[in-house]
């Protein structure tokens, strides 16, 4: 059932510079993770995606991509359908 | 009529990535269908799952005045379980500890949506 998701996550994890990938479902529970990512991040990631979507100017605009940057790396978050995906990149 | 073999095949689709068994129970906790690895404890697990579900449903009815319990997720020392209602039956997924709650909930939701219509037809006949 989850083979396709795992395959796509592995592909994303293989991209140079990516240190972790995590997918969460609507309630903020962790679906799957790869690399150096704690399952406990899933709630915060889902909440961030939901809050950012509320700031979008129009209801029908696609979900925004959130980028968090720090001196140690960056984190990209995007919600698609019922899954929120976060990609951790090390600098 | 419901084909038991086909039902077991559908249940077995969830048994990947650390999920050990999938059980379909009636409201009393009796096992109606099972798919998984090693079935020695399936009847006991089914009875316990049914008991947990009934307890939470009663608790929700009493404290929140809401009997529409959607899903119960339980984390034990050696594994996790998910329980949900399908038609007038209970669906239960038992997994090892490494399976994430999100995956468990997504799988049980997918399986219950798929089985809802055929099992409702049987329940109403």
Q: ipTM value of the model? A: 0.82
Domain of A86, CATH number, reads 3.30.450.30
Give me the phi and psi of B98, to 5 degrees please: -75, -15
Give the mutation candidate from B100, B111, B113 for the A interface (greatest A CB count, under 10 A).
B100
Would you say residue A45 has pLDDT above 80? yes
Mean pLDDT score of chain B? 89
Mean pLDDT of all residues in A25-31: 93
What is the pLDDT, as a whole number, of residue B70?
Answer: 92
Residue range of the domain that includes A6: 2-90
By Cβ distance, the residue of A2, A3, A27 closest to B103 is: A2
In this complex, how many residue pairs, one in chain A and one in chain B, have their CB atoms less than 8 Å apart? Answer: 37
Name the H helices within chain B: 4-12, 42-64, 101-124
Q: How many domains does chain A have?
A: 1
Interface of A with B (CB under 8 A): 1-3, 6, 23-25, 27, 29-33, 39, 42
CA dihedral B107, A34, A11, B109 (to 10 degrees): 10
Mean pLDDT score of chain A? 92
Q: Do A42 and B17 touch (CB under 8 A)?
A: no
3-state percent helix, strand, coil for chain B, nearest multiple of 5: 45, 25, 30
pTM of whole model > 0.80? yes
Please report, rounded to a whole number, the percentage of residues in chain B having pLDDT higher than 70.
96
Q: Which chain B positions have a beta carbon within 8 Å of A40's beta carbon?
A: none
Tell me A28's DSSP state. Answer: S
Interface of B with A in 8-27 (CB under 8 A): 13-14, 16-17
Tell whether B107 is within 8 A of chain A (Cβ).
yes
Do the strands B19-25 and B89-96 form a parallel or antiparallel pair, or are they unpaired?
A: antiparallel
What is the pLDDT, as a whole number, of residue B1?
Answer: 64
């Amino acid at each position: 059932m989850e083979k396709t998701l795992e395959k796509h996550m592995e592909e994303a994890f293989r991209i140079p510079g990516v240190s972790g990938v995590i997918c969460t479902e609507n309630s903020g529970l962790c679906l799957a993770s790869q690399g150096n990512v704690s399952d406990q991040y899933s709630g915060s990631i889902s909440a961030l995606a939901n809050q950012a979507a509320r700031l979008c100017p129009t209801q029908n605009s696609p979900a925004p991509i959130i980028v968090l940057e720090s001196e140690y790396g960056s984190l990209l978050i995007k919600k698609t359908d019922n899954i929120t995906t976060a990609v951790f990149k090390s600098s | 009529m419901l084909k038991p073999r086909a039902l077991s095949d559908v249940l077995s689709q969830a048994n990947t990535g650390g999920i050990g068994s999938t059980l379909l129970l009636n409201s009393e906790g009796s096992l109606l269908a099972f798919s998984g690895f090693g079935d020695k404890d399936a009847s006991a697990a089914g009875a316990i799952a049914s008991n947990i579900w009934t307890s939470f449903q009663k608790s929700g009815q009493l404290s929140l005045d809401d009997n529409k319990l959607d899903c119960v997720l339980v984390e034990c020392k050696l594994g996790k379980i998910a329980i949900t209602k399908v038609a007038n039956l209970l669906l239960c997924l038992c997994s090892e500890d490494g399976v994430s709650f999100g995956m468990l909930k997504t799988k049980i939701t997918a399986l219950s949506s798929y089985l809802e219509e055929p099992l409702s037809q049987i329940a109403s006949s």
